[in-house]
């Protein structure tokens, strides 16, 4: 059954077949709003983005392939995707802990902590970048303690991971939090009354409920981290082959007037983010179906 009617009014199923329930003429403004949206979308997003395809197409296949698989470029993919994956994994675990703490426990200053979780969204990335670098440099508040232990963070790939953890931090928390809030305590009650331990209840009752949200948050944090530039360039050290991220490499190519090379690498990144977008949409569809199943 499709959730086409709710108490709020008419809720259309996401991909309702056009032709059925066609509602032109009921409300005014379709032409104006649609026209403006399509015009503005084409002007600001679609036409500019299409330049990537056309610029890359000026290269023949071989040159294109060499441009996007040069050793320095491959090293940057490894760093960008590796660090993004690592950071997203840290955020997966820590984000779940934070969401759990915010939903289930009471402690003084909880409202402030809750609001602060969004800081990485609000703080300009350049500010985050220089702040993290100052923290983890050898004379910084953190670096001072870590360096004698042999842990170098600033100007190493580890610094990239730290910056990406900062950037991705809110994603898992904010996707898991509402699902955890809606989770029915009765189910846990039932599990406990049937003799399940708290850990069993968590693993077998709660975790399956929040899993789609958890994975969505993970994928969102990963997708954001892959494209991140501002917070990373300051702390990374930007050494070719070692700590140079792909977005920076695009800028380097641009500064060398290698427009086609820059466009080719950018195109690869764009296609990869399309794949991620598709994956995220699938996860959300899964989550939505779960929610629907629960309501029926």
**φ and ψ at 10, to 5 degrees?**
-95, 120
CB of 263 to another protein, least distance (A): 6
Task: Pick the closest to residue 176 from 100, 91, 285 (CA basis).
Answer: 100
Footprint of another protein on residues 62-101 (CB under 8 A)?
94, 97-98, 100-101
Using rule CB under 8 A, residue 139 touches another protein: no
Residues 117, 159: Cα–Cα separation, whole Å: 21
Using rule CB under 8 A, residue 212 touches another protein: no
Q: Which of 75, 88, 172, 269 touches another protein (CB under 8 A)?
A: 269
Binding track over 28-57 against another protein, x by CB under 8 A: xxx-xxx-xx--xx--xxxxxx-xx-xx--
Q: Which of 76, 154, 228, 244 touches another protein (CB under 8 A)?
A: 228
Q: Which of 79, 84, 128, 215 touches another protein (CB under 8 A)?
A: 128
User: Considering only 60-68, 69-77, 102-110, 144-152, which stretch makes contact with another protein by CB under 8 A?
Assistant: 102-110
CB of 155 to another protein, least distance (A): 14
For the purposes of burial, counting CB atoms within 10 Å of the CB of 163, is it exposed (0-12), middle (13-18) or buried (19 or more)? buried
Quote the longest CA-to-CA distance of the chain. Answer: 72
Q: Say if residues 103 and 204 touch (Cβ distance below 8 Å).
A: no
In the complex with another protein, which residue's Cβ is closer, 70 or 183? Answer: 183
Angle between helix 246-255 and helix 259-295 axes, rounded to 10 deg: 150
Residue 130 tokens, joined: 């220089």
């Amino acid at each position: 059954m499709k959730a086409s009617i709710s108490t709020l009014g008419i809720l259309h199923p996401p991909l309702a077949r056009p032709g059925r329930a066609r509602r032109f003429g009921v409300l005014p403004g379709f032409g104006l709003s649609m026209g403006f949206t399509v015009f503005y979308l084409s002007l600001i997003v679609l036409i500019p983005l299409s330049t990537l395809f056309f610029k890359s197409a000026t290269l023949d296949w071989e040159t294109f392939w060499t441009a996007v698989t040069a050793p320095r470029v491959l090293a940057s993919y490894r760093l960008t995707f590796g660090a993004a994956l690592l950071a997203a994994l840290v955020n997966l675990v820590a984000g779940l802990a934070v969401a759990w703490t915010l939903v289930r426990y009471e402690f003084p200053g909880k409202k402030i902590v809750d609001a602060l979780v969004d800081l990485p969204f609000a703080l300009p990335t350049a500010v985050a970048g220089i702040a993290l670098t100052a923290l983890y440099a050898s004379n910084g508040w953190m670096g001072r303690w870590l360096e004698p232990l042999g842990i170098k963070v600033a100007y190493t790939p580890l610094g990239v991971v730290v910056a990406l953890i900062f950037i991705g931090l809110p994603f898992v928390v904010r996707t898991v939090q509402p699902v955890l809030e809606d989770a029915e305590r009765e189910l846990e009650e039932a599990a406990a009354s049937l003799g399940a331990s708290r850990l069993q209840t968590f693993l077998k009752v709660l975790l399956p409920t929040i899993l789609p949200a958890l994975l969505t948050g993970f994928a969102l944090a990963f997708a954001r981290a892959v494209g991140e530039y501002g917070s990373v360039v300051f702390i990374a050290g930007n050494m070719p082959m070692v700590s140079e991220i792909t977005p920076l490499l695009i800028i380097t190519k641009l500064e060398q007037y290698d427009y086609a090379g820059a466009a080719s690498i950018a195109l690869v990144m764009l296609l990869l983010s399309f794949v991620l977008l598709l994956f995220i949409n699938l996860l959300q569809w899964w989550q939505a179906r779960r929610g629907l199943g629960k309501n029926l």
